[in-house]
Structure 1
């Protein structure tokens, strides 16, 4: 009964900033977090409701909010990594899943933004709000292989492989567009035979769901996502939050390959 009332409260809750109810995906995040809490209490020997009894509800049939572990693995394994294009595509999707970046944020990345040694970097998100994101073992590996294979000095991290080369300093015209990245993800969704509609934003949802389902703190995940409604201490791009680093390191499945 308590869980039912909680789910009802989520469904009726209205965001005080936007005046809108919680999205289905956000409600799912809260329920996944509740499952994690129940699982923790059970491990401590408390007599609590079985986590699986908390039903997450069905996602709208018109779209898939996140991919499960098998779907993610098939998608990430889809590129042919025997050439530079395939290495780029694998690195790009691994970066999406490791960081939870928005499409526009990932498209804006430059090579000098990425630090493979510390495996973290700063981004400026919506509302010009800075945050720190983290690279998993898998993302670090594939980004390293991709960058090592590149023989150019272009500044953008993810560059196009078609068309005339940009001769301007730094090659700004070589940057992949957001539309190109959307098409890239869609291509591999089809090649992997997932049979669902999945976009770069699906990978962002999958990032959050992966962390939450493995026990990460909801507030830490929201902070990593850079949600605008967070009422927390501002993070600056040059400062590492050790609690966020620990949460990503401990709970992201890409760190356990």
Structure 2
């Protein structure tokens, strides 16, 4: 009996799709994410022994089940006991597939299934906890307590102060160069989707940044550089910058040492920035600009009023008087 050749799981015109993203000015990170997500779909088709031309609604449903068994960061099959992929992350993979299918149709190329047939899964609307302001301040000040190396202490303190002062994303912070800081504490950011905006340092954050820069005796471009590990010895000086993984791990360590019960990350400082600006009476449209959001709807998901503040608002502004 002759062995039948397995059908190819390679997505047709995949490279053309990625090139189209690049020519339409999508960021390198966005193109990389599409590529990674669609390679997961390729792997799924290979396991299912199904060619791309055979994709139908049943295959899409099987793909959704498959997505529950992979790890979001590595896009590999999970080991038993690892956390289930969240619905929002599943929708990221499904949205990437829909975009690819739409591209095929726009280019008048064969497409086995309508993009609209790839239905997103229902998501639970979460209400992320925001740490108390006092806990966020303790977190920001943690490097001064827990770091013994003077350079590391000054750098980490400056990074955390800047995150909470500006509300910028961790990726924006890590990619800052020294020449982006002007003499007034204003920072020009080219953020997500290559959108440009200004963010602003508080006098306190500006003081800690200058204290860190005063300790620097190098001419490296990056604002925040590593002092040990592989990145610190990279011969290409333009790549000498701190990593997001390092900062996230450090924040986790500080949180554990401080015994802060609310899960706290670099993104938590961004949430806290938006929430406490709103609680202080800031205009939502201004918060939208500072966060770099295209839509005000996105901003409202970042602004989570505390229960205590909501109760105070109800008490202060309810139209019926107290008896």
The 10-residue stretch of structure 1 (172-181 or 128-137) with the greater mean CA deviation from structure 2: 172-181
Paired position in structure 1 for 2:133: 69
How many residue pairs get matched?
A: 173
Partner of 2:154 in structure 1? 87
Change (3 A) 1:21 1:69: farther
> Superposition pairs for residues 170-189 of structure 1, below 5 Å?
171-189=237-255
Structure 2 residue matching 1:123: 3-state secondary structure: strand
Cα deviation, 1:43-77, whole Å, max 9, x if unaligned, reads xxxxxxxxxxxxxxxx45xxx3x222210121112
Q: Return the offset for 1:96.
A: 0.4
Q: Does 1:224 align with 2:290?
A: yes
> Relative to structure 1, is the Cα distance of residues 230 and 70 closer, same or farther in structure 2, using a 3 angstrom cutoff?
closer
**Larger Rg over CA atoms:** 2
Asked if 1:102 corresponds to 2:174, the answer is no
The answer on whether the counterparts of 2:133 and 2:272 sit within 8 Å (CA) in structure 1 is no
Question: How far apart, in 2, do the equivalents of 1:160 and 1:215 lie?
Answer: 38
Range 79-88 or range 176-185, more displaced: 79-88
Taking the aligned partners of 1:204 and 1:100, their CA distance within structure 2 comes to: 5
Matched, 1:165 2:229: no
CA shift at 1:196, angstroms?
A: 2.4
TM-score (normalizing by structure 1): 0.61
From 192, 203, 206, the equivalent of 1:140 is 206
Distance 1:213 1:165, change over 3 A: same
Gaps of 5+ in 2: 1-119, 298-323
How many Å apart are 1:229 and its aligned residue? Answer: 1.9
TM-score (norm 2): 0.49
Question: Which residue of structure 2 aligns with residue 78 of structure 1?
Answer: 142
Please report how far the alpha carbon of residue 216 of structure 1 lies from its aligned counterpart in structure 2 after TM superposition: 0.7
The alpha carbon displacement at 1:110 in A equals 0.8
Shift of 1:230: 5.0
Structure with larger RCO (C-alpha < 8 A, sep 6+)? 1
- Looking at structure 2, the residues matched to 150 and 20 of structure 1 have their Cα atoms a distance apart, in angstroms, of 49
Per-residue CA deviations over 1:196-220 (Å, capped at 9, x if unaligned) read 2111111100010111111111110
Whichever structure has more helix as a proportion of its residues is: 2
Question: Residues of 2 paired with 1:131 and 1:147: CA distance?
Answer: 23
SS at match of 2:143: coil
Say whether 1:196 aligns with 2:262.
yes
Comparing 199-208 with 159-168, which one deviates more in the overlay? 159-168
Q: 1:20 Cα deviation (Å)? A: 11
The 8 Å contact of residues 165 and 200 in structure 2, kept in 1 or not, is answered as yes
Q: Which moved more, 1:197-206 or 1:67-76?
A: 67-76
How much does 1:228 deviate?
2.3
Per-residue deviation, 1:122: 1.2
